[in-house]
Amino acid sequence: MKIAQVCYLYHPAIGGVESHVKNLSERLVSLGHTVEVFTSDFEDLQGKRRVKITREVVNGVLVKRYPGKFIDRRFTNSRFQAQKVEFGPIHEDLSKGNFDVIHVHSIPSKHFDEAYSVSKKLGCKIFVTAHFSPDDLVKAFKTKLTPWYWKIFLIPKLKKVNRFIAVSPSEAKAFASIVGLPEGKILVIPNGVNLEELDKVSNTKVRQFKDRYSPREPLILFVGRIVPAKGIDILVEAVASLRTRAKTLIVGPVGDERYFEELKRMVRRLKLESAVQFDQLSRSEVLSAFHACDLFVLPTRGEVFGIVLAEAMAVGKVVIGANVGGIPDLIKDGKTGYLFEPGNYRDLRQKITQAIEYRDLSKKISLAGCKEVRNKYDWNKLASKLEVLYAGK
C-alpha cells in the first residue's frame, strides 16, 4: 500500500504525537509499504526553529515539509483548531500522490480538511487519530461556540471517515458520548513503545548518566514539553518537603518561556536549587535517563495517553501519573504504577515518598508495569494491527 501520514510536526520535533507518527511510519515501511509524511517545517509549535530540509528520506520514510505559519484565532474557523499552527497547502501534492490510505493526526485542523477533501475526490481511504485528551474535549464542548462548529463542520466529516482511531479507551468513550460518533466507527489502537530503541541502551551509558545527575540519591525524572499543561509546578511543589533526599530532573524543550521563568523562580523560592535541575537532552540521552531514574512522574493537567509513562514502565521503572485523561487506562493504581489526584501536590508527595521508601512493593509494581507495557504496547504489534485495518474494507 501507499500511505500518507499527515501531522503538524515530525522528527526532529519532540512530542507524543511526533513519536507516534514516526514509529508508526517506520514500522509500516518495514512491513513493505510506501509511506510519505506531510508535515510543517516547524520544529516546535512555537515556531522557534524551522527544519531547513523540505524533502528527505528518513529510515525509509519520505518526509515532505511545508511552510508552517501561525493563524489568528480571532477570526473565522481558526479559533476552533487544535493548534494555532497550519501548514501547506498540501491539497495538490496529496491529490497527485495516488495514495491508497491517508491517515490524519490531530483534529480539528486545516490539514484534516484538505486531506478529507482529497480522499473524497479520489476515493481513497481516510483514517483519523485525534490525539485529543478526554478532559480537553469536555472543556472544549463547554465553550459557547465550539459544539456548533463541530456539529456543522467537523462531525459530519468524522462520520464519513473509514475509521476513527482512539489511543485510549477514555478517548474513545469521550468521542462516543460527547461528540456522538457511532461506537462501530471507533477503534482503540494505543500509542506504542519502541522496545528495540529502549533495549539498546548500554549499562555503561546508564551508569554515566546516573553519576552525572544523581550518583548517591534517588533520581526522580520528568520528560515532556515545559508548558503549564504538563503540571511541572505541581511536581516542584511536591518535592519541596520530601522526607527522603532525592534529585528531580526535568527534561524537555521549553514551550512557554514565561512558565519556565516562573518554574525557576519557584525553585529559588523553595530553596531547591540543589534538588531540582532543568535540562534539554538528545533522544539518546533521554533513553539513558529512563534507565537511570528511580522514579518517573507525569504530573500533567490533561493527557490523552502518556507515551513517556509507557517508556519508563517498559524499562522497569515505578511511574506516577495524574489521574486524568487516558492515564488511568495505562496505569492501574497500586498494581502497575501510582495515580495521584490531579493538581494535588500533597497527594503526589505522598505517592513519591511511598514509591521511594517501600522498595519491595515498588519492585513488584514496576515488574508488573513492565510486563504489561511490553505485552500490550509494542509498536511492532500495533503497526501490524493498523496494517490490517488499512487493508480492510
Alpha-carbon distance of 27 to 105, in angstroms, equals: 17
pLDDT above 90 covers a percentage of the chain that reads 82
Q: Which pLDDT belongs to residue 77?
A: 58
Q: In which band, very low, low, confident or very high, does the pLDDT at 197 lie, cut at 50, 70 and 90? A: very high
* CATH fold group of domain 195-376: Rossmann fold (3.40.50)
Buried b (16+ CB within 10 A) or exposed e, 77-100: eeebbbbebbbbebeebbeebebe
Backbone φ and ψ for 94, nearest 5 degrees, come out as -65, -40
Closest CA to 326 of 146, 137, 78: 137
24-40 pLDDT tens trace: 999 999 999 999 999 99
Domain spans of the chain, in order of start:
2-192+378-391, 195-376
2-192+378-391: CATH topology is Rossmann fold (3.40.50)
Query: Phi and psi dihedrals of 164, rounded to 5?
Result: -95, 125
Q: What is the per-residue pLDDT for 16?
A: 87
pLDDT over 60 at 13, yes or no: yes
Distance CA 370, CA 22 (A): 23
Cβ atoms of 366 and 317 within 8 Å: the answer is yes
Cα torsion 138, 161, 391, 35: sign: negative
Amino acid identity for residue 113 in this structure: D
Cis peptide before 89 (omega within 30 of 0): yes
With residue 105 as reference, give the H or E element that holds it: strand 101-105
Three-state SS string over 52-87 comes to CCCEEEECCEEEEEECEEECCCCCHHHHHCCCCEEE
For the stretch 336-359, pLDDT in tens is: 999 999 999 999 999 999 999 999
CA distance 7 to 90: 11
Burial (CB < 10 A; 0-12, 13-18, 19+), residue 273, is: exposed
| pLDDT band at residue 215 using 50, 70 and 90 as cut-offs | very high
pLDDT, tens digit, for every residue of 238-283? 999 898 889 999 999 898 999 999 999 999 999 999 999 999 999 9
Asked if domains 2-192+378-391 and 195-376 share a fold, the reply is yes
pTM above 0.95, yes or no: no
Residue 357, C-alpha cell as written in the block: 521508601
Segment 224-245, tens digit of pLDDT: 999 999 999 999 999 998 988 8
Q: How far apart are CA 204 and CA 284, in angstroms?
A: 13
Q: Is residue 55 exposed (0-12), middle (13-18) or buried (19+ Cβ within 10 Å)?
A: exposed
